[in-house]
Amino acid sequence: MRVRQLILACISGLLLPLCFPKFDLGLLAWVALIPLHIALDSATRRRAFWIGCLTGTIGFTGIMVWVVTVMTTYGKVPLPVSSVILLLLTAYLGLYVGIYSWSVVWLREFLPRYGIFFSPCVWVSLELLRTYAFSGFPWSLLGYSQYRELEIIQVADHLGVYGVSFLIILVNLTLAEMLLWLMPFFRGFRPKKLPWELATITSLLMLLTYGYGESLLTGSALPTPKGVVTVGLVQPNIDQVMKWDSAYRDETMHRFDRLTGQFGETTDLIVWPEAATPFIFEREKDYQLQLMALADRAKAPILFGSPALRFYPDRRPYLLNSAYLLSADGTILGRYDKHHLVPFGEYIPLKSSLLFFLDKLVEGIGDFEAGPGGTTLSLTPKATIREDGTSVPSRPVKFGVAICYEVIFPDLVRQLAVNGAEFLVTITNDGWFGHSSAPAQHFSMVVFRSVENHLAFARSANTGITGAVDPYGRILHATGLYTEESVRVTIPVWQPRTFYSRYGDVFAYGCVVICALLCLISLLRPKEPVHGTTAITPV
């Protein structure tokens, strides 16, 4: 029995990475966890926990093998050490699957037949915990596997990505319960009672979800955008080895100049990637003049990434990972400072106390401090020309910026919508990931941020993937990796304010409340008395 359970757990673990990019077999997610749920049948709680940990560790190792590339290629960490670090990280993530598996067995014991209904709530609660615990790491939440299934993911405008994860777990659980009900037939035994309640609820929720998504994507009652902006996205494909080498500064700027020049004067906004300038913009007067001249030729503001140098009260320096909006006339229209930094990449947590002996896993120019977050910037698109040749002046448009890692945090991007953003921009440098699956996984999360808030997203990446997503998650353009490209996209601007934008992760927190109530009821419920046995003497 134990060997069978281990094999089933391993099968689910091996199937999970196939659900995400680069494999992109998203529909497989709806059945990938069936083997795990079958393995949990008749398992003890302790065994269920370890079975789940095994599934999670194998699955996350396959999903996140790119971590080794980051550490060995750019962090100069020896391969054996980086492999151990990867396994420690994936074992930590596997704990969440282990806790979920434990809860499945516990719910079966606590509320026979009906306790299993609450298992998806546990999964969602654990995903929410993973989003915030230890600064948060919500990479490849189960719902992200469906970023190409547009009809299914529209429900994220109410429930967030967690709602899609809920449905996937519910379907896996229902199919597993149906298989467990059928198995005795093949063995000649009388089957358990048909789990028709679970099957009915699952079918109803899936029909409602698909119907809602279909109505949004094909309905004629959709709100009309207030206008459009034309965005020029630059993918320079600068090698990480060259990026901060002062000898290549002029070559880097020449490449940006050439790629930006391909847009002519037809764009409302030009976007360069994260840390695009190989220098601190505010401290390099000569390069400032180059950038101003470039913006003047383009006749459009340029949003570009550059470190910003600041000082503590005691005059110690620190850096901000910033995005500047430079107008065509050379004025700085605004700046956004990255709020959620990458632990061990942009800073070392607890460096002043526990982890003083560590250095960053990727090479860069120093440690960063977090910005305030939630900042929106503003631009005025070019005037539109009517058919009669007269021009219509444009109104200012607000947009939000997320830098790299920030786009994987749903609530952080939601705050930009709350603050009035009419479209969204993310700039990133995925060159650290090499040719791994990470850039595609990173890009897939942008789709959900668009659907959750019904705001278009434009994305500029150093080495790819650069592209745009419309307010309903349709990918308008996506470049390849390690290509040098200029991409022009036209995206709608509006302020739809979805349920998710207004209220955030109420669904996920609702799942947490349900789990907390179940635990409380379990603690308060009186224990069943243990009856003694009386020996019967045969006559």
**CB contact set of 414 (below 8 Å; sequence gap of 6+):** 452, 453, 500, 501, 504
Q: 458, 499, 399: which is closest to 160 by C-alpha?
A: 499
Cis peptide before 465 (omega within 30 of 0): yes
Q: What CA–CA distance (Å, rounded) separates 461 from 425?
A: 11
10: annotated active-site residue: no
Q: Is the dihedral of CA 16, 19, 25, 27 positive or negative?
A: positive
Active site residue: 177, 338, 406, 511, which one? 338
Evaluate whether 301 touches 379 at the Cβ level (below 8 Å).
Answer: yes
274: annotated active-site residue: yes
Q: How many CB atoms lie within 10 A of CB 122?
A: 24
Active site residue: 127, 177, 274, 346, which one? 274
Backbone angles phi, psi at 84, to 5 degrees: -65, -40
Helix (H) or strand (E) holding 333: strand 332-337
Helix (H) or strand (E) holding 67: helix 66-69
344, 350, 351, 357: CA torsion to nearest 10: -80
Active site residue: 10, 404, 511, 515, which one? 404
Distances (CA, A) of 31 to 25, 194, 321: 11, 20, 41
For 434, what's the count of Cα atoms within 13 Å in the CB-facing half-sphere?
14
Question: What interhelical angle do 438-453 and 410-418 show, nearest 10?
Answer: 40
Q: What CA–CA distance (Å, rounded) separates 231 from 271?
A: 7
Q: Report the relative pairing of strands 423-428 and 397-403 from DSSP bridges.
A: parallel
- E strand intervals along 189-274: 227-235, 269-271
The DSSP output letter for 461 is E
Q: What CA–CA distance (Å, rounded) separates 273 from 260?
A: 12
**Side chain identity at 249, as an amino acid letter?**
R
Residue with tokens 């809920």: 166
Residue with tokens 């971590």: 67
With 0-12 CB in 10 A as exposed, 13-18 as middle and 19+ as buried, what is 188? exposed
Q: 48, 36, 85, 47: which is closest to 64 by C-alpha?
A: 85
Q: What CA–CA distance (Å, rounded) separates 419 from 347?
A: 28
Q: What CA–CA distance (Å, rounded) separates 84 from 443?
A: 27
DSSP-assigned states of every residue in 468-532: EE-TTS-EEEE--TT--EEEEEEEEE-----HHHHH-SHHHHHHHHHHHHHHHHHHHSPPPP---
Q: What CA–CA distance (Å, rounded) separates 166 from 154?
A: 14
338: annotated active-site residue: yes
Catalytic residues, which ones? 274, 338, 404
